[in-house]
Structure 1
């Protein structure tokens, strides 16, 4: 890993929130494309998924979701559940940031895409007892849209439209449909 990227990871621990935020943005930007250093940080990110600091949990989930495309060994298939658990974090903002990023795991390959879609579908059907479930459903629909846009897989679009039809409240059904306009 180049020294600049190492510095960004170190800067995540800075007391200065601006320095942390800039480092976060640089890492997110770098991991939007394939990198050759994913495994250098993988295990520490996995450990951070259960850190007491919700910011670390959120960042770890987001970074790992992005790094899935840089995972030729398919480690994400074994670690996905650990990342997915952060989408149900007690801190809703942490859960939401993780949920909004996890679609990117589906860009890593067919199996990863299947795991993401299955997880989205299951959660959509079973989240109505969760606080803010309409936002969770919205993020799932948006995640499916993002994955569809990146892959042009028509089955994803069809699945999302079928999920939208499950929604009984016309206000939310309209909101979810708006994602696909």
Structure 2
């Protein structure tokens, strides 16, 4: 990993909010495409999934989700439970940001896509006991929409439609359907 990228990861933990924010944005842009330095940062990101600072947990989850496509060893298949755990973080904003990024893991390959979809579907069906479950469902459907937009996999779209049909509240059913218009 070159010094510039290493500095970005350091800056993303900076107390200087401007440097922190800029580094965060830059890392997300860099990880939109495959990179060759994934494993130089992977273990640090795994550790940061349980960092005392919720911002670091959130960012580590988002970075790992984005780096999954640059994971030729398929480590994400083993490490996914640690990443998924952050989608249930005690801080709702952290959980939500992690959940909003998790769909990117599915871009790494068919096994990753299957795993992510299984988790998203299960969470959608079981989250009614959670606080803010309508937002969680919305984020899940939005993630599925983003995955569909990237892959054009009709099975993803059909899975989302099937989930929406299981919603009893007409207000939320209508809201969720707008994600797919």
- Classify the TM-score, shorter chain: over 0.9
The aligned residue for residue 62 of structure 1 is 62
1:153 and 2:162 are equivalent in the alignment: no
1:51 and 2:40 are equivalent in the alignment: no
What TM-score results when the alignment is normalised by the length of structure 1?
A: 0.99
The aligned residue for residue 2 of structure 1 is 2
Question: How is 1:18-167 mapped onto 2 (pairs within 5 angstroms)?
Answer: 18-167=18-167
Unaligned runs of 5+ in 2: none
Question: Shift in Å at residue 5 of structure 1?
Answer: 0.8
Question: Shift in Å at residue 12 of structure 1?
Answer: 1.7
Q: How many residues align?
A: 181
User: Secondary structure of 1:69's partner?
Assistant: helix
Q: Structure 1 stretches (4+) deviating beyond 3 angstroms?
A: none
RMSD between aligned alpha carbons? 0.6
User: Once the two structures are superposed, what CA deviation does each residue of 1:101-154 show, in whole Å capped at 9, x if it has no partner?
Assistant: 000000000000000000000000000000000000000000111111111110
Distance in 2 (CA, whole Å) between partners of 1:18 and 1:173 is 39
User: Secondary structure of 1:50's partner?
Assistant: coil
Question: Shift in Å at residue 82 of structure 1?
Answer: 0.5
1:173 and 2:176 are equivalent in the alignment: no
User: Secondary structure of 2:131's partner?
Assistant: coil
Distance in 2 (CA, whole Å) between partners of 1:66 and 1:134 is 25
Question: Shift in Å at residue 14 of structure 1?
Answer: 1.7
User: Once the two structures are superposed, what CA deviation does each residue of 1:17-73 show, in whole Å capped at 9, x if it has no partner?
Assistant: 111000000001000110000000000000000111100100000000000000000
152-161 vs 12-21, which deviates more?
12-21
User: Secondary structure of 2:84's partner?
Assistant: helix
User: Does structure 1 conserve the Cα–Cα contact (< 8 Å) formed by 2:61 and 2:83?
Assistant: yes
Unaligned runs of 5+ in 1: none
User: Does structure 1 conserve the Cα–Cα contact (< 8 Å) formed by 2:31 and 2:66?
Assistant: yes
User: Secondary structure of 1:128's partner?
Assistant: helix
